Structure 1
Amino acid sequence: MLATMDATKQYDSTVRQPAFRLAGWLGALFLTLALTLVPHSPLSAQDKGFGSANFSLGGSTMAFGGNSEDHATVRLVSDKTAVIPGAALRVGVEVELADDWHIYGRESGDVGEPTRVEWDIPEGWTVGDTQFPTPKEDRMELVGETIVSYLYEHEVLLWAEATPPAELTPGAEITFGATIHYMLCKTDGMCLPPASKEVTLTLAVAETAEATEHAERFIGAEPGGTSPVGGPFELQDVADQSLWMALLKGLLAGLILNVMPCVLPVISIKVLTMVRQAGEHPKRIFQLGMAFSTGILVVFLGLAALTAYFGATWGSQFQSRGFLVAMIGVIFVFSMAMFGVWEFGLPGALSNVGAKEEGESLLSSFGLGIMATVLATPCSGPFLGAILAYAMRQPPRIIFAIFASIGVGMALPYMLLSIRPTWVRFLPRPGAWMERFKQIMGFVLLGTAVYLLGILPSDWMLWTVVFCLGLGIASFVWGQMTTLADPRSKHLMVRVIAILIGVFSGWLSFGYFLPATTGQSTTHMLDWEPFSPQRLEQELAEGRTVLIDFTADWCPNCKFNEAFALNTEETKKFVETHGIIPLKADWTDRNEEIRLMLERLDSVSVPLTAIFPADRPTQPIVLRDTFRKSTLLEKLNEAVTTESNSE
């Protein structure tokens, strides 16, 4: 108790003033930013124009992801060849899109940037609402939720009806202008920054006019109306927001994220370390807590940048298979630490950014904050959905303010405990329960990794598990192959070996086996057809050589044969050249016909490959277990050569 009181007194003189200065600085910054933005709220979608997100540097222009004009052609067209005084005229912005590229509708849905058109019509004219054809509805399953977007592909015409005054002089020329604001995205998910394009059209005034080649394309909702999907929706939870309310709800949403299932395992680890730190110097507790909070805020500001300039959405990074694999790997390695395979913390100079204290490091605490925030992105707690929808319709500075408020809300408990470390005493005292709690959290982390594994495509799952096995071995080498008494050189050597094991397992899984079992087999996949005894008899009766692959999804050797012998470029070319019929006998589930055929071939297991030459169908050539491509080609050549010689 006396030690705690002494530490508290020392904290009063060494930490309290910096802590209050930091808290005051954060509060002043947040308040100044909010006050700066108040006059601009609320904003409609039309206020969110920030051009093409180009940056000037030394007279040149750079754009993230390329130039939108490389993938979209925009021009202004009309339904008549001339302007007739007093007669309505339809003008439209025509957008032609390159293959695999699209723009969004008047409402973009859960992702992207809504498309809008601003008309520049001569004085005295009237113009109706812009008509949007019904867009394509695109649905995608992501982390248990359906992400919906409304988009246009190939080409689209966005038009409005303009009415000229009756007093126009025949022969005069009228120039129309329009500016379209849009975001171009590719089918694979890559998007260019929001862009704007100005187009013009000049028509002469005449007493008569003919229909243009574009006249039939001016279709859609009647002027002044809206289509069920293409028109604007009245979203009360998005529209009826003030900036102050949005910031408050963002703060509450961030606070609630701390108890969401996605992030709870990592937060529990942080709580565990804070309990362990209860007896440490308050200054150290303050530093570690602020490092964790900084990690949270850095991620939220990064997400704000992605949302403001690239149209990213909450949790969209989980659409990336590479990101999912990386997160599974990190979580798995953390679970190994919970089971005591290796100790959490970084050694040497990295451990405490130059400090010599043992225990949690500033860098690891910062990384833990980043990990907690990234894991929180698949979750959407109370207030969060409406706040994010509101933010996506705002200009960048408001997006940054809202995301910052969410980050501050999530970091708030740890900031408070850092500023007042004496509050840690309200947490349970350190004891034997901590080891049990840590082990339980290890299982929770493993459960999180299994959940993320289920999001991956089935052909990625096996190799991700293999990758995690390699990471488990690397963790064991890192944490168990040295002792405190070993020299520093041995520590360094062992950890280099551990890193190399992790890197090698990643290359083996995703640089070797995955391409072999997915990309290569897809490119050179034989035209397999289902096996049946009747089909075999039919093909042999018609004088064709038949290749049968007896396989199963649960058979790793079968997959090896398919990847490195059967579904290869050379094999595919040979089979097609000689008219060989490939049949697949899939024994993944029970199949009596396949079992009986295997028995006839003196086999009770897979893999097995049988070649039935056309000229001697009762003398099949059998390859058992694993084999090389050269062996397969040799046997195939033997089958067709015998056939050729007999002819």
Structure 2
Amino acid sequence: MALPLPSFPMRTLSFFSGVLIAAFAMAGTLGVTPVAAQNNSLKSTASTEQVRAELMAYAPQGVPVGQTGALAGTGASVAAGQSTQEAPVWVGLQLTHAPHWHTYWKNSGDSGLPTELEWTLPPGVMAGDIAWPLPRKFPIGQLANYGYDGTVLLPVPLTITPEYKPSAFSNTLDVKLKASWLVCRQECIPQDAEFALQIPLRSSTALNGSAFEAAFKSQPQQVEGAHRIELRDGGKRLSVRVEGLPSALQGQVLEMFPETPQVLLTAATPATAGQAPTPSTWSQRWDGKVWTADFPLSPDRSESPSMMPLVLVSGGQGWRAEVPVEGPWPAVAQAATVSPALEAALKANADSQPTTAPPNTAVPAATFMLALVGALIGGLVLNLMPCVFPVLAIKVLGFAQHAQDKRAHRVSGLAYTAGVVLSFLALGALMLGLRAAGEQLGWGFQLQSPAVVAALAVLFTVIGLNLAGLFEFGSFLPSRVATMEAKHPAANSFLTGVLAVAVASPCTAPFMGASLGLAVGLPAMQALLVFGAIGLGMALPYLAASWLPAVARMLPKPGAWMIVFKQFMAFPMFGTVAWLLWVLGQQSGIDGAAALIALLVALAFLLWAVGLGGRTRWSMTALSALALVLLAGAIGPNVVKPMEEAPASASVSTGQRWQPWSHERVAQTLAAGQPVFVDFTAAWCVTCQYNKKTTLNNSDVLAAFDAAKVQTLRADWTRRDPVISAELQRLGRSGVPVYVLLAPGRDPVVLSEILSVADVKAALGRI
């Protein structure tokens, strides 16, 4: 008697592929995760190679809605020395500069432009001026600039007027900002970005309080007195007199920063003791309690102010004096929109920059063909990933079943290939579309969604239980539905290809990272060709086998071994579920993983019950279905609820080897002269975990890190992080793993995705 041939039911794939498609669509619509739906759709950060910018808010007493006496002060009042606490709501742009780069103060000096902020606020809310922190002087050759390096916050007070009347359903004050700045080293690069932020109306906002308090302390204090500026030497020099400074400053050397641009000679140097004034030097002295200075005018002067605000700085503290000018000004030089020095710097920068293709432009044919070959090879290597093996093992049963049916074999191969290629194209198009809409996404983004991870865990549990023999679909489905697989074997193969892509795409492999990184910057058609090449590479082994008769003849004939093999293949399925539960635990915490385990047990109970016979079947099915519904309502939300992150100060100790990655930590470490190794990883990335166990935790590698005094940082991309996504894009990658070694004064070194001890030690030996 012929034994029944086991096969994977098309009905299971059909149903759960629909669940997965819905989960993917929801992930794309809602920003991939529930947290993203609430926060990450608003971009509060922007990063370039030179600057990381972040929009921040500070409202320790909340937003005073409907309080007529709670109007915020303006930037001018703060600059005039009034208390910064007059403004109950503050927003600000924090700029973190890469080493040796700087942006500019309100008076940028000879060759810069001040940072500009353009706000979009609800009716009844007004933004004041920037409360500029104390600047520093940057001499550059014969020029000098005023500005900031390191990290600086530019705070701005908000005025909440009685006319601000949010709707009853509004919980936030929506703030939008368009900012532009000029960042310079020896060359200058204009940059701009748009930001958005939501400030809670009914709770305090003090997460960034320390940054704002530091900015407030860096504000100059107002000095009152009979100050005076006199024009001398035929209007070529200014004599400055400032009274009322603290007595502790008497006898000290002060730095002077004029707020009015293009008046004084910014690059003037202090005169030595006893030196006569020259056209390029300035001098200062104390006449009792009065500070006086003699300063040359700029030959390119374009302003003739009657009042000159001056900021005097000593020891990190500042004082501001509004000084009237006495005497007639000489004729001014012709005003220029951009100073000649800045224009020359921008032109030199443009000439020195290598010509690169702007985003979404075609690349040379040779480069594009290399990307296609790399994508094809990367797709081939995906078949070796352990997350793909359980799905491909299902097809082994199909191979054996159709070993003597050449036509069925070929149809199955074509259908499987179509499922794989079209799925890669669909995921690629979704990612490109979301990125074009402004989302910071990378390849594998679907497994950053707890909903998608949970759906895959449910799907693999059902597959495993079916393969183990716990239930058969034919026992509770109508006969017409139960025979659909026999009538539509091609659809079964197609959906198997879809499933294979769903679990394989996050497993980036050698040659694949660079190709995907290139693809996201190509025109849509070329980018989709790269994604299609990855799918073709993944499906190629099965496609070739289905069309080569020699492979079919090598397969064993159908028999009893297939039942044993079918039951054995349930265990890789359950192993995949265990991996997915671990991934979910990294996203939703132990409560989310435990909730999904309980729901999977309840689902298994239901599937067992519907396979029973007689009256017992109906009573047990009703009981198990009720239990599943009650559990889903009680603990189901925990599955997709994002885990709250502990503050970095509480979760990371200074001596811990792998510190969390951030732009600030990289910049600070490099500025201290220490190399940095960054591991861009994710819990759902199998290659990442393999490299971590075999290489990054290797004692020889750790000893090499210590010998080279390398700071090791880890950028965890398990959950969606737009900042990490942007950094991966800057490195020319679109997924993880990515390993980067940085050393002061050197270009970043990106290592291979399949990491070895020898690779890491060789890279460390070159720094």
Q: TM-score range by the shorter chain?
A: 0.3 to 0.5
TM-score (norm. length: structure 1): 0.43
TM-score (norm. length: structure 2): 0.37
Structure with more of its chain in helix, by fraction: 1
The higher-RCO structure (CA 8 Å, 6+ apart) is 2
